[in-house]
Structure 1
């Protein structure tokens, strides 16, 4: 069957593609010229701010209104800081500080960084309520486990980001916080009633809509009472019925990456997932990170064919393309006028304090300390090796950048004993640095044995818990593993003498 060129062009206007490396290949520019909505950039596309600005300028040379998106959440999910860690604490830290004005400032600062780099769509903030403490994919990306707290910070995050001329995208609708599996790897199920969802998971999305969020991202999660056997991304009841009709959202519905098993696995491949998402009411389809020209063309052709044979109504495809074009127009207008408006005061404040100072001050307000770190002077620092989610990627974390002459060793908890570390310490205290120490049996056992036998402290840089190893001299909770969070922990432990004033 021949593909209608007009339908193919419409199909391209619904797609966010990707490419590897710090320079845009020719095919990326050709597809933009043909109508492609835009690109999502990942850590592999980012070397430094100057390079990123050149890259986005080259993309816009093919079409000035291209959407250029990125996952910049601060904290543990950062693309701008993927080589050294984010200078801004993430949502869990902002929720712990619980100052909505501070959240607005931090997101305005991140927005200005993105705008300066030529980004006009940030796939943030994450507004999931992290009610499952063992959640492998959300965790510190969430403002917290309380719906009211998360909703209280969602609006300021959206307003701060969009005050900088960068469109915000609240995610992951209708809420990924109660899952215990990663939708990158499978299709999680949240088997709850709609009343519970409305009380627990949906208030932050209502807050985002009230704040004027320009985009909302769908989740590849199954909620049987709402989505049946498929994910929310393929559910008209979720996207059109709940999000648009009940919550009044009129902006762009963006899909999470269609390459994820929660989508492609459920549909039988990425092209079919694209058709299912559009038919359900999605507008902007994020294909994923592992993308080449052939895949983009295959997806566009499948969407165009579906519009031609009736699997998607042509008017639905036109509607999606129009919404995406309006989002791009809004971003272009906002870039021109972002020096004024509602966000001007926030920008003046954080520019006066400096971005570095703002991030550090925000991280400091999230730091919680049990015990007395003064008893841990001159320690052996032991970083507990841990994995990372696909959303995070392999971003450096820990205290090493701030240790100076203090010795650090990296260990797998299950491969070392407390006695071996005590011997290595040679009379020094031991400071364990980890993420979700309580959740890994080996890390927890090691911490408890060390604390019972030797002067020991713990720095928890993941999702926190009430667990504390008996006998620990000090227990520090940073609420995330950003570079800013690491710095304030090092500061509290006496590794740094220079201290930024509280400017937040």
Structure 2
């Protein structure tokens, strides 16, 4: 603990931890909020029903002026819909429809749901341009593969979210779309020229900044055109572009500092210090459930960050003025929240229409009468989303009574967010399938091989692609296919209607 209460409060203000629990904050977190904690992040393990989550939020807000954030992108990344499926379409579906009025309406409804649960900041939208087909973590979380599409969709999304009094967060600056490594588990690079960077990666960020987005989240990616050695989160050069050339004066928050790109290189504590020195304001500490080796991991991570910042100030490495600057922006966001927390806005329902318009398909859609044999050949775990959503698979099985769903892999139990695929071993014998469910073709050789094997067993099987597709996808010669561009409740209903008439 710092002996200087003013310094201690400043350090608390720039921290944004996760924590374990759904009904009330643990004692360490309650003390931190009372001492000025800037924010907390809800993960899926914190979310109950609306009443339970709202009660937890009220308890936190009663303790202090803390900002509550969560990742609610709709589609496959949905904390509020982690158990039953998101009621809102994701970015790729919105990009497919490319109807900014519909996007604004969807984002408004999503923001209203966050408000109802007492959440102040949405860690969305993803404004990355998904230009790399080998990208393992962005995919359907992006509005599309061109900067113009992503820019206009992102602006509409920000406007929709913020009209509800919930702050939007543009991520992942300066762009995570042209990467082939997931920053949760490694250190990606964006190898493009400065000209391409400005025309493609930075253009959507410029658009949402002009539209008044309240926060921007950094990416743990190296962009040699700006800084050849340091990830953006800890690069003063990169973040000076955000502040200077792009003119952003809101809150710069970091992506989770417990991600492999930081944790496995300089460490979380040093990452906190260097991110602040680079120009970040609010330090996301990450998901304390992942890799938990002790029941108090959440408190240990917070203490590590707090002590690292305190030590850096005492050693003269971290100027108090930098803490004051960051705390000032967080205070301004708190004030914005208070001004807008009682706004009243009409909420529409554009999700169903967008989900239907987003579907693509080829070949006859008629399936065998009666129960369906559904084979799920997906293996990968998306760290941002957690366990793969099965909303559409479940809806299709329910629409055809008597259906059976089997997997092409041995699936051990996995906690939220784990991406370890080594345990997910392919089965040598696969059930013959009427419907083969796959993710994003080309990303996982083992998944692709299981899909091919299933198609050889039944060339008439329908391939249901719930991931991302870049252009025309041959799908190993599949005669029939449906592309959903994500998974959520509206998509599930649209697919069930298309394939079963239900």
Listed as ranges, the matches of 1:438-449 within 5 Å are: 438-448=442-452
The one of 258, 267, 270 equivalent to 2:268 is: 270
In structure 2, the CA distance between the partners of 1:389 and 1:39, relative to structure 1 (3 Å rule), is same
Structure 1 residue 95: Cα displacement: 0.5
Residues 158, 168 of structure 2: 8 Å contact kept: yes
- What's the counterpart of residue 184 of structure 2? 184
* Alignment check: 8 A CA contact 2:465 2:481 kept: yes
User: Cα distance, 1:188 vs. partner?
Assistant: 1.0
Q: Do structure 1's residue 320 and structure 2's residue 326 form an aligned pair?
A: yes
Q: Which residue of 2 aligns with 1:145?
A: 145
Shift of 1:125: 0.5
Given that residues 92 and 140 in structure 1 are in contact (C-alpha distance below 8 angstroms), is that contact kept between their aligned partners in structure 2?
yes
- 8 A Cα contact 2:376 2:407, kept in partner: yes
Residue in structure 1 matched with residue 39 of structure 2 by the alignment: 38
Could you tell me how far apart the structure 1 residues matched to 2:461 and 2:300 are?
55
SS in 2 for 1:93: helix
Spell out, residue by residue over 1:300-349, the C-alpha distance to the aligned partner (whole angstroms, 9 max, x if none).
2321332233212211110100100110110111112x21xxxx4xx34x
Q: 1:293 to 1:376 in 2, by over 3 A?
A: same
TM-score, length-normalised on structure 1?
0.89
Partner residue of 1:332 out of 328, 332, 338: 338
Corresponding residue for 2:464? 459
Counterparts of residues 69-468 of structure 1 (less than 5 Å): 69-240=69-240, 242-267=241-266, 269-290=267-288, 292-336=298-342, 338-339=343-344, 344=345, 347-348=346-347, 350=348, 353=349, 358-378=350-370, 379-397=372-390, 398-404=392-398, 405-412=401-408, 414-416=426-428, 421-422=431-432, 430-448=434-452, 451=455, 453-465=458-470, 466-468=472-474
Between 298-307 and 220-229, the greater mean CA deviation after superposition: 298-307
| Structure 1 stretch displaced more, 49-58 or 451-460 | 451-460
Contact 1:402-1:495 within 8 A present in 2 as well: no
The answer to whether the 8 A contact 2:382-2:388 is kept is: no
CA displacement 1:2-39 (0-9 Å, x = unmatched): 75332121111000011112131122111100111121
Secondary structure of the 2:336 match is helix
Deviation at 1:449, TM superposition (A): 5.6
Give the conservation status (yes or no) of the 8 Å contact 1:82–1:395.
no
- The answer to whether the Cα contact below 8 Å between 2:2 and 2:8 also exists between their aligned partners in 1 is no
Instruction: Label 1:287 to 1:443 Cα distance change in 2 as closer, same or farther (>3 A).
Output: closer
CA RMSD of aligned residues (A): 2.0
The structural deviation recorded for 1:395 is 4.8
Within-5 A mapping of 1:24-35:
24-35=25-36
- 1:2 & 1:439 partners in 2: Cα distance? 48
CA apart distance, 1:270: 1.3
Deviation at 1:438, TM superposition (A): 4.4
Which aligned segments of 4 or more residues in structure 1 are displaced greater than 6 angstroms?
none
Higher helix share: 1
Q: Residue 410 of structure 1: SS of its match in structure 2?
A: strand
The alpha-carbon deviation at position 53 of structure 1 amounts to: 0.3
User: How far has the Cα of 1:388 moved from its partner?
Assistant: 1.4
Q: Distance in 1 between matches of 2:224 and 2:454?
A: 46
- The CA deviation string for residues 192-235 of structure 1, in whole angstroms up to 9 with x for no partner, is 22211001111110111011000000000011231231110111
The 2-side partners of 1:316 and 1:416 are apart by 58
Secondary structure in 2 matching 1:202: helix
Count of residues in correspondence between the two structures: 471
TM-score, structure 2 as length reference: 0.89
**Cα distance, 1:454 vs structure 2:** 3.9
The answer to whether the 8 A contact 1:10-1:35 is kept is yes
Offset of 1:442 from its aligned partner? 4.5
Judged with a 3 Å threshold, the aligned counterparts in structure 2 of structure 1 residues 2 and 459 are, in CA distance, closer, same or farther, namely: closer
SS in 1 for 2:74: coil
